[in-house]
Amino acid sequence: MRKKIVAGNWKMNKTPKEALALIEELKPLVKDADSDVVFCVPAIDIIPAVEATKGTNIAIGAQNMYFEDNGAFTGEISAPMLKDAGVQYVILGHSERRQYFNETDEAVNKKVKKAFEYDLIPIVCVGETLQQREQGITIDWVRMQVKKAFMDVNKEDAVKVIVAYEPIWAIGTGKTATVEQADEVCNAIRKCLFELYGEEAAYSIRIQYGGSVNGKNAAELFSKPDIDGGLVGGASLKADFASIVNWDK
């Protein structure tokens, strides 16, 4: 049985002081969660966030990293740096990084492989644009993104990946995919993973839904057997995030 996982993506929000205030507010509210709980915080908040969540059920994630260990890559952060700072998860290939920072499927794949070298768990984001959905190519597109992200990743590592299905048209727009739409694509992703790695691995890999998840729609979405929790942007910045984490209570 896969354990659900609810991750907050804070994006470029919260100074270190604000991050600590939100963590202190949320700690008691999420402590009895049945799901795994992850806060993916801005790079500058990582060290205080790791410190503030020690001994709690909250794991800290990063929102991106580079695929080299070190060197002349001004402004980047590496997997060994994240590992040393106490990070456990890293979001890779978020649509905002693909859209605004030209992140390619090839770069995402290199980052996924680098994450495993340092025992970081990648949360790999995939999803279609509104135009692709209207053209009827959602499944083909998402399958391609999954195949490229998992290229040359062995089965032992693949089972640790979290895939986040995030239709781009639903991110930060208040438009949530219907439960049927989310379930259909999460199911197609699992089929694709089955083709790549076989049944046991495909049924071990956790697949989240992301896109305007909130306290009202989380329970319906996360109750679907192929949806193993959520990646949550806007709604993770408030104490109300606890109602998403506690979706099953």
The answer to whether residue 93 forms part of the interface with ligand PEP (CB under 6 A) is: no
Does residue 172 interact with ligand PEP by CB under 6 A?
yes
Closest CA relative to residue 123, chosen from 221, 224, 19, 38: 38
Site for ligand PEP in 213-232 (CB under 6 A): 213, 231-232
d(CA 9, CA 64): 11
> 3-state class of 145 per DSSP?
helix
What sign does the CA torsion over 62, 65, 67, 70 have?
A: negative
Question: In the complex, what is the shortest distance from the CB of residue 2 to ligand PEP, in angstroms, rounded to a whole number?
Answer: 20
From 45, 166, 183, 228, residue interacting with ligand PEP (rule: CB under 6 A):
166
CB nearer ligand PEP, residue 166 or residue 228: 166
Choice among 25, 94, 117, 134 that is catalytic? 94
How many C-beta atoms surround the C-beta of residue 217 within 10 A?
21
Q: Which is nearer to ligand PEP, 8 or 193 (CB)?
A: 8
- When asked if residue 46 is in the footprint of ligand PEP (CB under 6 A), the reply is no
Q: Which member of 210, 217, 221, 226 binds ligand PEP (CB under 6 A)?
A: 210
Task: Give the SS3 label for residue 59.
Answer: strand
Beta-bridge mates of residue 206: 162
What kind and span of H or E run contains 208?
A: strand 206-210
Is residue 195 flagged as an active site residue? no
Q: Binding string to ligand PEP for residues 100 to 139, with x set by CB under 6 A, is what? A: ----------------------------------------
Give residue for tokens 């993506």: 9
By annotation, the residues acting in catalysis are 94, 166
